[in-house]
Amino acid sequence: MKFQNINTFLLVLAGISVTGLIFLGYSSTSLRYKEKRFCLNPDGKVVPVTPWLSPIVWEGTFDPLLIDSIYRQQNITIATTVFALGKYTQFLKDFLESAEQNYFVGFRVHYYLFTDQPEQVPEVKLGEERQLTVLKVPSSNRWQEITLRRMEKLEKLIESRLVNEADYVFSLDVDTKFYGRWGAESLGRLIGVIHPGYYQTAREQFPYERRPESQAFIPYAEGDYYYGGAVIGGLVKDVYEAAKTCREQLDIDAAKSIEAAWQEESHLNKYFLYNKPSKVLSPEYLWQDFKPHTNEVKIIRFSQVIKNYAAVRPNP
């Protein structure tokens, strides 16, 4: 009996030791990422998971055929909101045509297009079970105002329609183009995308809102990644909470005549700091056409096109 007790004690001790080593290993990794939050290891390999253990989606981290087949069985609808006001309607044709070739191919997709010029919406042939709804909105003489009000429009659309019409929703910038597959690997409860300009940057250099008087304020000692405002997605109810919260914070700032450094993107980063995304998309899902290709970004799936801002924006 004494011998069995000793064996039991040793097994328990070994279990505790292994658990402790795993915890210490994860803690040291978390601390390292708290300081740097890089998306790459020192050897140049991509980091496939966040410190809170959510996946970071890179090429090679998923089986496209398998994951698409799993989600197709669920008979889901993916709503996709796009804002094209003023001269930004010129980007619609490339956006929609490239989306039809690459974006959730084989899934039910419903585009909701907000525009002040419905007559400028191009005719684009959509695939089976894919549709486009045009929603007229007022014009604005400030691009910042257009950006600031997107969360409000998204919130109201979810309340009035999407809660009954869709399972997932993505809100995407229109001055973009799809260059590669974007499929079910991007689905999850709450989705953010790492900004392509800051995925190798220490968080102290992130362009967060640094003024304490703003609701979007993030201190220099805090922050995970810098997320791009051109993409937000997830389950309808979770995106609704994100949009609602950001809109409320935007309204509080507006009442104090404060405009965050990067408008809704600043507030989105603040939201993600305290409401961690369940899945993070790598810069493959938000690149910039003017940026050269890099070794770690094996494929560019979605990218912001080159443009003359002075020519397309209503104000500087």
The residues annotated as belonging to the active site are 265
Asked if residue 195 belongs to a known ligand binding site, the reply is: yes
Angle between helices 150-157 and 263-274 (to 10 degrees): 60
Asked if residue 174 belongs to a known ligand binding site, the reply is: yes
Asked if residue 103 belongs to a known ligand binding site, the reply is: no
Q: Contact at 8 Å (CB) between 282 and 194?
A: yes
Q: Specify which residues 281 forms β-bridges with.
A: 57, 193
SS3 298: coil
Asked if residue 280 belongs to a known ligand binding site, the reply is: no
Asked if residue 265 belongs to a known ligand binding site, the reply is: yes
Q: Burial, 216: exposed, middle or buried (Cβ in 10 Å; 0-12, 13-18, 19+)?
A: buried
Q: DSSP assignment, residue 103?
A: B
Q: Burial, 119: exposed, middle or buried (Cβ in 10 Å; 0-12, 13-18, 19+)?
A: exposed
Cα–Cα distances in angstroms (integers) from residue 127 to residues 88, 101, 130, 281, in the given order: 24, 9, 6, 25
| Strands, E assignment, the chain | 56-57, 77-84, 108-115, 130-136, 168-173, 176-178, 190-193, 231-235, 279-281, 287-288, 302-304
Asked if residue 208 belongs to a known ligand binding site, the reply is: no
Q: Which residues are annotated as a binding site for UDP-N-acetyl-alpha-D-galactosamine?
A: 88, 173-175
Q: Which residues are annotated as a binding site?
A: 88, 173-175, 195, 265
Q: Which residues are annotated as a binding site for Mn(2+)?
A: 173, 175
